[in-house]
């Protein structure tokens, strides 16, 4: 199925605005994958091996999940397990509904294998998403894989009020996610990255853990880092988060830095403002993963995100310290077969290099 996507589907989608193409894809998946027959068909096509790993007290079939931003409003949750993902992250979700930034706000470059977005947390708001998820659960269509919720600060809320804003969203969605990711690092909400300071991080994390203490179950809370922080800033932020009870980290969000352009089209693409993801992000993501792992080891899990597009890039993230990994851009450029390609490639490399399971690979390049 990779060849038909690459030579038929993707060339057709390139004539559409990037955001329209994305919306068409998610809407199509949300409709097609809602019935058991369609899910069974997709699962038979996109087979993935068992590479079990236990994280946050849950068994993941393999490490690879869908990153936040693809299924913003949690509308296609039935599709992701059928395409081979072992877990999925929806969002980012804010407390209040948001239209996001002016369009156009999403761009792609085939030559760079990269995306730029300045979406601005466009979403229907936490209450609406909660209602949608509650209806899904009632109707018996809840996915059979762990789900993460990515939550961000509402644009109209000041950083001083941010802890309450995050906590309100966290509380509303508490029953409808297994893992929560605090997004304080998107470059597309004014002032948001200022929350990546020790005092702000403590306040945001403490606000959410205080809610968790009152709810049933201790659901893990993760902090998502920017790849544009230097090593000292990353480690000081990580220390503040750990002292406040954080359960893990996501490395990383998109970057505002830009590589050298490859051609005229690439130059035009890279001149757009917003967060860059895909292949050019991989090196910065690996640097952040490695810095975190060197500092904290196995104290809490690290989720690797950024330029995961092949068995080699997945292996690179895991061997540098990532327990779980995520992708987004590779799904756009390679289609759904990328999930089985990566996981089967990981399985083959495990055997070639003599590891008994994927857990043994975590951080081995740093030791």
Sheet holding 275-278: strands in order across?
106-109, 114-117, 275-278
Catalytic status, residue 186: yes
Q: Answer yes or no: are the C-beta atoms of 60 and 80 closer than 8 Å.
A: no
Given phi > 0 = left and psi -120 to 50 = alpha, else beta, which region is 218?
Answer: beta
CA–CA distance, 355 with 301 (Å, rounded to integer) = 20
DSSP calls for 282-299: HHHHHHHHHHHHHHHTTS
- 46 is written with which tokens? 């996109």
Q: Which two tokens stand for residue 43?
A: 């699962």
Catalytic member of 86, 154, 186, 244: 186
DSSP letter, residue 102: P
CA dihedral (237, 147, 89, 158) in degrees, to 10, reads: -50
Task: Name the β-bridge partners of 65.
Answer: 87, 326
Residue 96: CB atoms within 10 A of its CB come to: 16
Give the span between the Cα atoms of 30 and 213, in whole angstroms. Answer: 34
Q: At what angle do helices 231-243 and 282-296 cross, to 10 degrees?
A: 50
Contact present, 361 and 331 (Cβ < 8 Å): no
The catalytic residue positions are 186
């Amino acid at each position: 199925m990779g060849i038909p996507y690459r030579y038929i589907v993707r060339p057709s989608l390139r004539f559409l605005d990037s955001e329209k193409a994305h919306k068409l894809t998610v809407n199509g998946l949300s409709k097609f994958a809602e019935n058991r027959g369609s899910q069974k068909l997709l699962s038979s096509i996109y087979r993935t091996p068992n590479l079990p790993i236990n994280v946050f007290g849950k068994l993941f079939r393999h490490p690879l999940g869908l990153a936040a931003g693809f299924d913003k409003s949690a509308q296609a949750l039935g599709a992701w397990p059928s395409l081979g993902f072992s877990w999925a992250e929806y969002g980012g979700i804010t407390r209040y509904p948001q239209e996001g930034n002016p369009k156009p706000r999403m761009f792609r470059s085939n030559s760079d294998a990269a995306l730029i977005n300045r979406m601005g947390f466009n979403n229907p708001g936490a209450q609406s998403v909660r209602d949608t998820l509650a209806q899904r659960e009632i109707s018996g269509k809840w996915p059979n894989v762990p789900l993460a919720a990515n939550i961000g600060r509402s644009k109209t809320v000041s950083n001083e009020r941010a802890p309450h804003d995050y906590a309100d969203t966290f509380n509303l969605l508490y029953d409808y996610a297994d893992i929560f990711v605090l997004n304080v690092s998107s470059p597309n909400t004014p002032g948001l990255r200022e929350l990546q300071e020790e005092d702000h991080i403590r306040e945001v994390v403490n606000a959410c853990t205080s809610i968790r203490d009152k709810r049933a179950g201790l659901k893990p809370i993760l902090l998502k880092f920017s790849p544009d922080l230097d090593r000292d800033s990353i480690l000081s932020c990580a220390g503040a988060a750990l002292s406040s009870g954080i359960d893990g980290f996501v490395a990383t969000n998109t970057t505002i830095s830009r590589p050298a352009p490859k051609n005229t089209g690439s130059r035009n693409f890279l001149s757009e403002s917003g967060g860059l993801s895909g292949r050019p992000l991989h090196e910065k993501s690996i640097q952040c993963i490695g810095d975190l792992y060197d500092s904290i080891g196995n104290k809490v899990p690290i989720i690797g995100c950024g330029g995961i597009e092949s068995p080699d890039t997945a292996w690179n993230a895991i061997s540098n310290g990532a327990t779980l990994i995520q992708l987004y851009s590779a799904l756009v450029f390679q289609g759904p077969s990328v999930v089985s390609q990566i996981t089967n490639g990981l399985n083959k490399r495990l055997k070639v290099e003599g590891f008994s399971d994927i857990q043994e690979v975590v951080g081995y390049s740093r030791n």
